[in-house]
Amino acid sequence: MRPIRLPEPPIGRRSAAEVFEAGIYGIIKRVVVIGNGFSGAENQCIGLVRALGLSGCHTLYRVTRPRGGINKWLHWLPVSLHKKLDYVIRQICIYSGVQVEARWSKVVPFAVEKTGLSSVIEADAKQIAMMARDTFEKEGPLLVIASGRDTISVASSIKRLATENVFLVQ
């Protein structure tokens, strides 16, 4: 068997893009981590932030889905539609005076609420994109790291609203 000879790279051409020549420390100065409440995925995102050397300048956001009652059958819906439908169902029950059976009204405890992370705020795509655009001149682009399928719509909305100011890792 004969060895394969690869062609030499062109001399005048750079091997890395201009953006990455100075290294990550010269470009990205802040990170937004968006999680869905599952600690395994969020811990991997935070581990990536630490590996990049940006552990001191990251913010954690969360996308939460309504829990309890009929919501356990609505996990196939997108989070935004699920929240709106949950709100409508609750309003109908309140205004009609319908008493929900005890087995329907029980609230399933959410594992994240037990951890005491009350400082973690709900991810709002418009607010994060506006922050990225407003602080781009002073602090450079924003790295958004999102984990979980519930975060896909929020992360893609951030990228769509602030295309030039955001690097997205999903």
Is pTM beyond 0.85? Reply is no
Burial of 129 per CB tally in 10 Å (0-12, 13-18, 19+):
buried
List, for residues 26-81, the tens digit of each pLDDT value.
588 889 999 988 878 888 999 999 888 888 888 899 988 887 777 778 878 888 88
Pairing of strands 142-146, 58-62: unpaired
Please report which confidence band the pLDDT of residue 108 belongs to, taking 50, 70 and 90 as the band edges: very low
For residue 98, the model assigns a pLDDT of 67
Q: Enumerate residues 6+ apart whose C-beta is below 8 A from 160.
A: none
Domains and CATH numbers, the chain: 15-64+116-170 (3.40.50), 65-109 (no CATH)
